[in-house]
Structure 1
């Protein structure tokens, strides 16, 4: 039993990028799908799809993005708020990741948003992860 499905998702993506895999498959949930859609909209992942895996369980299939010389679009990915230590930030405390070269993913009252979207909407929330 997983106690932190978001950490599991980020670890799967990190491992797939390091191994230069084309895609990564993981168990589906609404929160994971929302985080994956943010990664697509910000240009870190090519596409996200769904599939029905073994035993009829729904899965998420993420197609990873690489540049020239197979350089991954995701250089690093880090879980910030976790079950043992939740991290909440107000709109004025949302910091730029890597001087604006990365993004933060937040769970807000308006749904899962990137740091740029949260700042423009004027909402804070739980800081799920950082990607650069």
Structure 2
């Protein structure tokens, strides 16, 4: 079954925001990855190396996730469009079907493809200006 979680983008304040959310909701981070430790980010500005590439905090049956949008990497943040819906599918076929359907009239920013973290992942903004991420983690396949 597909699950859907929220993915937030911050202007360099992800760590502060997630420390706050952790104090509110409890729990532990299930992922915390910095840009300086991420393959493909070797050329990130030194001042941005310690910023958050990916962080996850389970809240109930959902996961709140986030990243820092780095201007040094050509990323821009616009409040109101700094939230994405992240779909995790049970199969590559389901990921392809959902991604292709959402792609109709959309702006595909990252095609669905194999990523360094062992998943197929893609990102798009649909024709209604909603940002979506579609992910299939091969390690969770049965």
TM-score w.r.t. structure 1 length? 0.32
